[in-house]
Amino acid sequence: MVREIVKYPDPVLRKKARPVAEVTEEIRELIGDMLETMRAASGVGLAAPQVGISKRVIVWDVGDGPGALVNPKIVRTSGSQVGPEGCLSLPGLQGTVDRPDRVVVRGLNHDGEEVRISGEGLLARCLCHEIDHLDGCLFIDRADQNSLRWLDVSDTEEELEDEALPLPEPLETAGHAG
């Protein structure tokens, strides 16, 4: 089932999401719905707070097939990549974000088993972005503030004038560490 994507500045996007005690049928259903919702919105990743559920669950598909992690934790990072990023909760906004080029993430899979996922390039960027969501951190907090631009959603080639739409304001309230 496709769920509604919560948009900024909904407060659930700024809350620290709760760990999942057990991967139950309800969590599996949430994962399935999140993948469906992400695909319907043509996204490459989604975190549970973006469908209004403040739990530590993320999904992604950067073109190599779907993935999901419960209680994900970044255990290693290396390198760096600087590139454009956006978010389904801030539609039309883009900014340049510096992320690690490689990450190793630990968490529980769909079956509740402990797994490790290694990501490079876009997958590394995506995993970092989605895990940030679980701590109430949005890409606008990490982006080069001068790079933030509203794209014209009717023609993404063209950028709107800077003053056409206000940028989101409270960038200092993320409450994330590291």
Query: Residue numbers of the site for Ni ion (CB under 5 A)?
Result: 87
What tokens does 101 get?
Answer: 């080029």
The residue nearest Ni ion at its CB is 87
Q: Which of 114, 6, 105 is nearest to 58 (CA)?
A: 105
Nearer to Ni ion, 108 or 137 (CB): 137
Nearer to Ni ion, 87 or 143 (CB): 87
Nearer to Ni ion, 40 or 112 (CB): 40
In the complex, the smallest distance separating the C-beta of residue 149 from Ni ion, rounded to whole angstroms, is: 16
In the complex, the smallest distance separating the C-beta of residue 133 from Ni ion, rounded to whole angstroms, is: 6
Give long-range contacts, CB 8 A cutoff, 24+ apart: 59-62.
59/31, 59/34, 59/35, 59/130, 60/123, 60/126, 60/127, 60/130, 61/35, 62/122, 62/123, 62/126
Our answer to whether residue 130 is catalytic in this structure is: yes
In the complex, the smallest distance separating the C-beta of residue 60 from Ni ion, rounded to whole angstroms, is: 11
- Active-site position among 4, 130, 159, 161: 130
Residues that are catalytic: 130
